[in-house]
Amino acid sequence: MKKLGFYPGCSLKGSSSEYAQSVLAVAKAFDIELEEINDWNCCGATAAHNMNKELALSLSTRILALAEKQGFEEVVVPCAACYNRLTVTQHELNKDEALKQRVSDIIEMPISGNLQILNVMQLIDKYVADRLEQKVTTPFGHKVACYYGCLLVRPHNILKFDRLEDPQSMDILMKRSGAEPIEWGFKTECCGAGFSVSRTDVVAKLSGNIVKDAADRGAEAIIVACPMCQSNLDMRRPQINEYLKQKINISVIYITQAIGLAVGLSPKEVGLQKHFVPVKIG
Amino acid sequence: MSKIGVFICHCGENISATVDCEKVAAEAGKMDGVEFATDYKYMCSDPGQTLIKNAIKEKGLTGVVVGACSPRMHEPTFRKACAEAGLNPYLCEMSNLREHCSWVHEKNEQTTEKAIDLVKMLVEKVKKNKPLNAIKVPITKKALVIGGGIAGIQAALDIANAGQQVIMVEKEPSIGGHMSQLSETFPTLDCSQCILTPRMVEVAQHPNITLYTYAELEHLDGFIGNFKATIRLKAKSVDYKLCTGCGLCTTKCPSKKIPSEFNEGLGMRTAIYTPFPQAVPNKPVIDRANCTYYQKGKCKVCEKVCPTGAIQYDLPDQFITEDIGAVVIATGFNVLKTDFFPEYGYGKYADVLTGLQFERLASASGPTLGEIRRPSDGKVPKKIVFIACSGSRDPAKGIPYCSKICCMYTAKHAMLYQHKVHDGESYVFYMDIRAGGKNYEEFVRRAIEDDGVNYIRGRVARIYEKDGKYIVKGADTLLGSKPVEIEADMVVLATAGVSNPGAEELAQKMHVSYDAYKFFAEAHPKLKPVETNTAGIFLCGACQAPKDIPETVGMASGAAAKVIGLFSNNELTREPLIAVVNRSAPPVFSTCVGCFMCQTACPYNAIEREEIKGRDGSVIKTVAKVNPGLCQGCGTCVAFCRSKAIDMQGFSNEQMFAEVMALLNE
């Protein structure tokens, strides 16, 4: 098994450390070696590309260049926003040789632009798909709503991952872990993202609609693959409940936590105790 | 010694406003070989033409150069004038002083200088012109109509009623096309089948029409007036000579769960089937892909029950060849299916339908006998949302064009629904209402004002299912893009009209051009709307672009008129401006070396191989020969020919060089 690069990004080192913990735990359970990229920086997220295109490209390109320098051919990027930024950046550079040169000059590093950038679903699909079902010891026997958020499958023509609306990859993985994914209407709706801080009322409304639809349809957990989605649906639950005028206590867990539990890891090993809405599953 | 006449036209002010026409004429008079030069205000007018004719007769001119507008405009006019004065028309050339000079430059010295140069080039060219004679080609007076929808039916009937023979080829087991699937038709709400089926029967019974259903064009060779068509008659597995159309086999066939194409998948059919009760011919075919006998080798129920022994399982596909004089392409169009739309559920919602599916629901011969019921549970929907421009006018979806018919049929659908379900509510999301046509706008207003259809200007972003309802999320742009959410029982997408699968292949078979969306391309969008770039092949109906019934019928008659016009002559006269492979005396015979690069290069398949034989019949040499009936004079072969054996009549290498040298030898 060759080593894959691992880019945690800022959130997996901070508020979503349980995501990183569960990704690494699941990787270990399947004998996948993930090695962190040395000296990585922020991907630029939403802020950079709204301010300055070159800055946004340079931040992401530096990460890609470092990964290349470390000799990785593939990099695992669990955070949906980081995955999106890195993939879009590599696409933009490969489309425009002059731009590639310019960005390369800014970061003072060479960049070839042929990394395979994988999100968690792609990682599991590629390396453990055939072994997943045999590995399941305690099937995740609950109804779940798989929530992809806005960035995991968009822009579709660049990421070329899954279907644009009503994606399936997370549902398929959850099904294979023994869960029962439900049909619902909010798979790729916006959770409110960065408005979490500045306009909590907007997040309460947007995330509220998501949580309500999942709960109304009998889901026992919402499965996510994005730290931003997780924090909005989980940490903002008091505001959500206030907006909905009802108390919804459906838990919001990362796909790697769910798969981790299914393959026999303990709730602690996948960091389930770190959520705001208590997780009563496992 | 050449005696050239030069005639400079002022074109009113079109040329004389920026070009000093008198000076051009004076300078032309000094050119080598010019016998006579003059200018006139309107050279194409009667007096202008008379001027040319008189000069030819009086001065004994051997060539004429008219410095005027584009030869596209008036070359035939001046050539005809020359011919009337006894000069071979191909010794008359036009120098384009209008589009190439006066219209594109300001008034100054250089503009006049350029005009003089342009005239000089043509003077040098015309000295080397040779008299040419128009080509005569015989005509087979039989038309091939491909497609048996309303376009093909109309074209075939018009040609047949004019006394000419028609062969109609339809790929489905019955003629009728999409029009036979429709319920009522806008703007009069008369029943589609009622107006169509009599014509279908007329086609079947017409003595001048030979109908081949379940058949496709395999090959088309030849050229205008002289095509050879190979038609594949797909195996029906039923001997139509014995079959009486009693329908016993279709009632007894055990494979009953095949989605019916005619009902757009909303109803089921059997493996041996006629598409619909009014089918023409009303005799079944076996769909081998879904028949138990063909797939598993057991069953043969239809053979057992057939009273006339018409079932023949081992019938192969047959091929027939026909000599044809003209072709009418009327292959129609298709509509996108709901699975094209991610935002509307990828086709997974049973009650999100296409417009064509709704037609079947509303049709008295449809799966619900005309009652509007949900396919999922058979309930009558109390709230329907119609979404116009589903896919159309959306560059992001790769369909930037307007599908033209959807505004009208959406208004019709909403109207039919209100007529059938009195307490129902209908909503139409639209971008614009395009109701240009006789009584069309009034029809839409009627839907809104009399029938109470709610029109919302805005697009629908998403549809998802919740508790058996479809949540339709959109925006009302007339209320400042206020979000709108409607809980609907059924959603109808007015999906874009697209080209038929296989249109591309058919176009390539016939050497007809098609556009980026695989619709067939007309020769000129305005002035040759039913012709193609290939002589003798005509178009009509929705295979060119989505069209409504009146326009389709009108253009079908137009295409038929073109065919009848062609067949009104016994032979065809064509411009002799074509490529010719040179021939010379033995032992060379031709400088052609027989590499046949020209054959690969020719877009019209006009190049044939000719064997030059000695007296003993042995082949001395194989050389290229241009078929004068097919060659369109594009000159590609001339450019490709490595041994300079091909030349274009009227545009020979020598003539082209003369033009260039005239410019260089200032």
pLDDT digits (tens, 9 = 90+) for B191-214: 999 999 999 999 999 999 999 999
Nearest to A164 among B342, B464, B465 (CB): B342
Instruction: Assess if residue B660 is contained within a domain.
Output: no
| Tokens encoding A87 | 């993939």
Contact indicator for A148, A170 with CB cutoff of 8 Å: yes
H/E stretch holding B66:
strand B63-68
> CB distance B466–A185 less than 8 Å?
yes
Residues B473 and B510 in one domain: no
Mean pLDDT value across chain A: 93
Residues B84 and B190 in one domain: no
Residues B383 and B469 in one domain: yes
Distances (CA, A) of B281 to A245, A281, B4, B275: 65, 65, 66, 10
Count how many residues are written for chain B.
Answer: 666
**Confidence (pLDDT) at B94:** 96
Beta bridge partners of A76: A6, A118
**Confidence (pLDDT) at B221:** 87
Confidence of residue A1 (pLDDT cuts 50, 70, 90): low
User: Residues of A with CB below 8 A from B348's CB?
Assistant: 166
Instruction: Assess if residue B656 is contained within a domain.
Output: no
**Confidence (pLDDT) at A3:** 87
The neighbour count for residue B615, using CB atoms within 10 Å, is 5
Q: What is the DSSP-derived secondary structure letter of residue A254?
A: E
User: Residues of B with CB below 8 A from A165's CB?
Assistant: 342-343, 345-346, 462
**Confidence (pLDDT) at B666:** 60
Instruction: Assess if residue A126 is contained within a domain.
Output: no
Instruction: Assess if residue B637 is contained within a domain.
Output: yes
Rounded to a whole number of angstroms, the distance from the CA of A19 to the nearest CA of chain B is 30
Instruction: Assess if residue B520 is contained within a domain.
Output: yes
H/E stretch holding B190:
strand B190-191
Contact indicator for A15, A231 with CB cutoff of 8 Å: yes
Instruction: Map B447-460 to HEC letters.
Output: HHHCCCCEEEECCE
List all residues 6 or more positions away from B482 whose beta carbon is below 8 Å from its beta carbon: B475, B476
What is the DSSP annotation of B391-431?
STTBGGGTB-S--SSHHHHHHHHHHHHHHH-TT-EEEEEES
Residues B417 and B268 in one domain: no
> CB distance A165–B348 less than 8 Å?
no
B297 touches chain A (CB under 8 A): no
Q: State yes or no: pLDDT of B185 exceeds 90.
A: yes
Residue of B nearest to A212 (CA): B466
| pLDDT (mean) for A71-87 | 95
Chain segment B18-74, per-residue pLDDT in tens: 999 999 999 999 999 999 999 999 999 999 999 999 999 999 999 999 999 999 889
State how many domains chain B has.
5
Instruction: Assess if residue A281 is contained within a domain.
Output: no
> CB distance A185–B342 less than 8 Å?
no
List all residues 6 or more positions away from B655 whose beta carbon is below 8 Å from its beta carbon: B125, B128, B129
Domain that holds residue B437: 334-498
Mean pLDDT value across chain B: 95
Domain that holds residue A148: 138-274
**Confidence (pLDDT) at B465:** 92
User: Residues of B with CB below 8 A from A216's CB?
Assistant: 466
Return d(Cα A276, Cα B4) in angstroms, integer.
98
Return d(Cα B98, Cα B424) in angstroms, integer.
64
**Confidence (pLDDT) at A282:** 56
| pLDDT (mean) for B454-482 | 94
User: What percent of chain B clears pLDDT 90, i.e. is strictly above it?
Assistant: 91
| pLDDT (mean) for A27-40 | 94
Rounded to a whole number of angstroms, the distance from the CA of A163 to the nearest CA of chain B is 8
Q: What angle do helix axes A17-29 and A255-262 make, rounded to 10 degrees?
A: 40
Residues B262 and B352 in one domain: no
CA Rg, chain B, in Å?
A: 32
Instruction: Assess if residue A199 is contained within a domain.
Output: yes
Query: A119-133, A226-240, B452-466: lowest mean pLDDT where?
Result: A119-133
Chains A & B: contacts with CB separation below 8 Å: 24
User: Residues of A with CB below 8 A from B465's CB?
Assistant: 183, 185
Instruction: Assess if residue B51 is contained within a domain.
Output: yes
> CB distance A184–B471 less than 8 Å?
no
Chain segment A220-279, per-residue pLDDT in tens: 999 999 999 999 999 999 999 999 999 999 999 999 999 999 999 999 999 999 999 999
**Confidence (pLDDT) at B121:** 96
Residues B588 and B532 in one domain: no
Which regions of chain A does DSSP assign to beta strands (E)?
3-6, 33-36, 74-76, 116-118, 143-146, 180-181, 221-224, 251-254
> CB distance B346–A166 less than 8 Å?
yes
> CB distance B342–A166 less than 8 Å?
yes
Confidence of residue B218 (pLDDT cuts 50, 70, 90): very high
Instruction: Assess if residue A131 is contained within a domain.
Output: no
β-pairing verdict for B285-286 and B272-273: antiparallel
Residues B169 and B119 in one domain: no
- CATH number for B399: 3.50.50.60
Chain segment B526-541, per-residue pLDDT in tens: 989 999 988 899 999 9
Residues B204 and B266 in one domain: no
**Confidence (pLDDT) at B628:** 86
The neighbour count for residue B192, using CB atoms within 10 Å, is 21
Buried residues in B284-306 as b, exposed as e (16+ CB within 10 A): bbbbeebbebeeeeebebbbeeb
Return d(Cα B439, Cα B204) in angstroms, integer.
33
HSE value, Cβ hemisphere, 13 Å, CA-based, for B352:
28
Give the strand order in the sheet containing B469-476: B460-466, B469-476, B482-488
- Residue type, position A165, single letter: E
State how many domains chain A has.
2
- CATH number for A223: 3.40.50.11810
Residues A246 and A170 in one domain: yes
Confidence of residue B283 (pLDDT cuts 50, 70, 90): very high
HSE value, Cβ hemisphere, 13 Å, CA-based, for B458:
21
What is the DSSP annotation of B469-531?
EEEEEEEEGGGTSEEEEEEESEEEEEEPEEEPTTHHHHHHHHT--B-TTSPBPPSBTTTBTTB
10 Å CB burial of residue B665 (0-12, 13-18, 19+) is exposed
The neighbour count for residue B358, using CB atoms within 10 Å, is 28
> CB distance B343–A165 less than 8 Å?
yes
> CB distance A213–B466 less than 8 Å?
yes
Q: State yes or no: pLDDT of B249 exceeds 70.
A: yes
Confidence of residue B632 (pLDDT cuts 50, 70, 90): confident
Phi (first) and psi of residue A99, to 5 degrees? -65, -40
Q: State yes or no: pLDDT of B95 exceeds 90.
A: yes
Confidence of residue B589 (pLDDT cuts 50, 70, 90): confident
Residues A206 and A265 in one domain: yes
B466 touches chain A (CB under 8 A): yes
Residues B356 and B491 in one domain: yes
| pLDDT (mean) for B412-433 | 97
Confidence of residue B555 (pLDDT cuts 50, 70, 90): very high
Contact indicator for B440, B550 with CB cutoff of 8 Å: no
Residues B327 and B349 in one domain: no
**Confidence (pLDDT) at B615:** 86
- CATH number for A73: 1.20.1050.140
Rounded to a whole number of angstroms, the distance from the CA of B341 to the nearest CA of chain A is 9
Contact indicator for A213, A147 with CB cutoff of 8 Å: no
Residues A17 and A45 in one domain: yes
Nearest to B464 among A164, A185, A216 (CB): A185
**Confidence (pLDDT) at A281:** 74
Residues A169 and A261 in one domain: yes
Q: What angle do helix axes A97-107 and A80-95 make, rounded to 10 degrees?
A: 120
- CATH number for B17: 3.40.50
Instruction: Assess if residue B661 is contained within a domain.
Output: no
**Confidence (pLDDT) at B72:** 84
10 Å CB burial of residue A259 (0-12, 13-18, 19+) is buried
Instruction: Assess if residue B128 is contained within a domain.
Output: yes
Residues B511 and B490 in one domain: no
- Residue type, position B304, single letter: K
Return d(Cα B331, Cα B224) in angstroms, integer.
20
Residues A110 and A207 in one domain: no
Residues A112 and A172 in one domain: no
Instruction: Assess if residue A50 is contained within a domain.
Output: yes
Rounded to a whole number of angstroms, the distance from the CA of A50 to the nearest CA of chain B is 23
Residues B393 and B455 in one domain: yes
Q: Which long-range contacts (CB under 8 A, 24 or more apart) does A36-40 make?
A: A36/A5, A36/A6, A36/A7, A36/A8, A37/A5, A37/A6, A37/A7, A37/A63, A37/A66, A37/A67, A37/A70, A37/A72, A37/A75, A38/A66, A38/A70, A39/A66, A40/A7, A40/A8, A40/A9, A40/A66
Return d(Cα A75, Cα A81) in angstroms, integer.
15
Domain end (from B498, B531, B549): B498
**Confidence (pLDDT) at B575:** 86
Nearest to B345 among A166, A216, A217 (CB): A166
List all residues 6 or more positions away from B591 whose beta carbon is below 8 Å from its beta carbon: B582, B584, B643, B644, B645
For the whole model, what pTM was predicted?
Answer: 0.81
Domain end (from B513, B539, B567): B567
Residues A73 and A171 in one domain: no
User: Residues of A with CB below 8 A from B342's CB?
Assistant: 163-166
Residues A96 and A166 in one domain: no
Residue to substitute from A182, A183, A190, A209, interface B, most B β-carbons within 10 A: A183
Nearest to B342 among A163, A183, A184 (CB): A163
Domain end (from A120, A150, A179): A120
